[in-house]
Structure 1
Amino acid sequence: MGTGVASIDWDRRYARVLVVVPWLLLVPSVAINQATPDQAAGVRAGTLALAALAAAWVYGWHTRPRRERWERWWPGAVYMAGLLALCAALMAYDVIYVLFTITAFFHAYQLKPWPLGVAGVLVTSVVLNTMTMGAPEATPASLGGYLGVIIVQSAAIGAGIVFGEKASEQQRRRDEMVARLEAALEENAGLHAQLLTQAREAGVLDERQRMAREIHDTLAQGLAGIITQVQAAQRVWPEPARARPHVDRALALAKESLTEARRSVQALQPRELEEARLPDAVADLARRWSNETGVEPSVEITGEPVPLSPAIEVALFRVAQEALTNVAKHASAARVGLTLSYLGDVVLLDVRDDGVGMRDADSGGFGLNSMRQRIRGIGGAVTVESAPGEGTAVSVSVPMMSVGAP
């Protein structure tokens, strides 16, 4: 941006110089001409009239018009032709007006496109040298000297026009590149702000989903167990000895659910995984589930158990918890099997039952969707196989990442 502003300032200053140059050269020319002795009054008056006409021509075509006029080729060409004609006429009266003729070299720089400017320099050189040196004689030396001066002079001055145009073109390209970069920076700033907003929204959504899963896996399951135990107690309420164990289990479930709810709010892992590793926690989960439902599941651990990363152990434990809860709520199963397999590069969790099954195993409610989200979050996969009357099998596969793994 700074380079572009500096270029604009330089262009404006140079334009002001071009406005002043003809007057700086015309005034001394007129003064010297009019001060020349032994000059006829008619010649002096004619020269002064031509000088006044030249001043009017410069003022009307160059000094006063807006600079944008020079962006078209024809105003500059007309102005330059009139200026050179007046300069030739003035030099015909007095060669001192060669000073004023130099103005055409300066103003040729303003002609557009640049080849027209080079042509203006060439014509100016021809007029200036012809009027000062006279027409060349028809000899090699005279023609060579005449043409040599014009060619060298035109090349030296015209090269400035060519190089100036190339520099201006490079400057325009730099300015365009800077403008594009600034636009890109502004766009990137907008995208960065948008990404930050989306990241915040995604974080809020992730936290909501986490809380929803935790509430489902703790409070909802705990309340379902409490309701089951209270209903069982109601059925045998006239016999306190039979009702009391159900009430005790309901109270224990309420305490557990309250504890788990507090742990969920604090984003802590389940209590069972703080007190034991995953195989023991799954076995303890199965025992407590059996006490609540009266169905004793078979639990099998295969392979060499290794400590897994907390995220994997929490996800597998919650899936086992959800699967057993679904069996208790929907399956009406007589047999349930739970297998945890350590296979070196993956860990498998399978929960099977012989219950009523499902018609569409791919749909599922919040519980199955919560399972899939949890396992997908650690790079694993969940497969549910079921058919009406043929039970249900929930299979989970996750990559094995031990506690010490990078």
Structure 2
Amino acid sequence: MAWKKEQLRVWDLLQLFTPWLLLTISTATYFSRVLPASGERFWPGGASALGLVAASGLWVLFGQTLPIRRRTLRPVPAGIYFVGLLALCVTLMTYSDVFLVFTIAGFFQAYLLRPWPLGVLAVLATSVALNGSVMRVWADPSPEVLAEFLLIVAVQTTAIGVGILLTARSEPEERKREELVERLEEALHENAGLHAQLVAQARESGAQDERQRLAGEIHDTLAQGLAGIITQLQAAQRSASVQNETEEHVARALRLARSSLTEARRSVQALAPQELGRAHLPDALRTLTERWSQDQGINARVDVTGTREPLSPAIEVSLFRVAQESLTNVAKHAEASRVGVTLSYTGTEVLLDVRDDGGGFANTVGAGFGLTSMRQRIRGVGGHVEVQSAAGEGTSVSARVPAIAPVGTRSRKETGR
């Protein structure tokens, strides 16, 4: 299809520029060689020819070039344009035979006419005008000259007319094939998006199930066990309050058990990044970057572009982890003075860029576990990561993921429609 599109583009350019090229060659030859060689002055014959050349240029511009470029050329205007073009060519040929070169453009312009019999008729008219002027048929209509003229016109019209006929016959099929290919490409693109959405939803569903399983196990085992310990220690504390040493040990155990219970409850709720538990991705990134900037003493800025949209938790977590890992790498290796974090919502995709002005590195192959883990995480939600760096030119980490909404958000939107 890439080859086919290139051929169509070349043919369109040929249709557009052939009249201009042939008119330029004819005009330049006439005014540089033919007119001076004839001994005639520029006025009045040359001035009249120049006026006709200007009129021809305007006719081609408004009748053919602009309509083709704007895709507004219609059958009736195309027919009027061709008749006027041929009339101008015949008139110019009365000044000099060198304008036969411009008349050849009529064969190319005949392909613009619809239906195809009009195109063949245009070829016949062009051939009659062209060969009639070359062979001087109208000045000396002898039987031999007339027979030769008719034979040339017939062969020329047949050869070019067959091309017009084949083009007209194949054009609907070509258009159908192009439409079919476009539909197939759209279907493939849609299937790719659906596949990424299904992968993200399956991952989200699996993570949710695993989160619930872990929460249930922690609640049923560790949390309940620690609660029982606290209850027993409280009873022991009440019964042994007279013994200072026992009370001290029991108090320590009680504080430890309470701390463990608090940690267990925190673990149940903190299976996602703590920042995302309190805010959406843009705000979480700002919180992360501001805290990192204060800790490292490096100027960092967060920019959010596009219309914010709700994203699947798996995608938000993945992007947050990429930003977190990138900032960690900057602090460890980059020796940067400025860092920029950009989150872009483009409608169908979400882009995250982390750039620094540090020392960079010359080769990203084998860059470390952090970058490898980052790529695997983003690939798991249907996206990809690009790392660009050069020695002394800083580093840029770019993550691109599909903008998949959380489960239930899309269905609510569709229901609202």
The answer to whether TM tops 0.5 is: no
Bigger-Rg structure (1/2)? 1
The TM-score bracket by the shorter chain reads 0.3 to 0.5
Calculate the TM-score normalised by the size of structure 2: 0.41
Calculate the TM-score normalised by the size of structure 1: 0.42
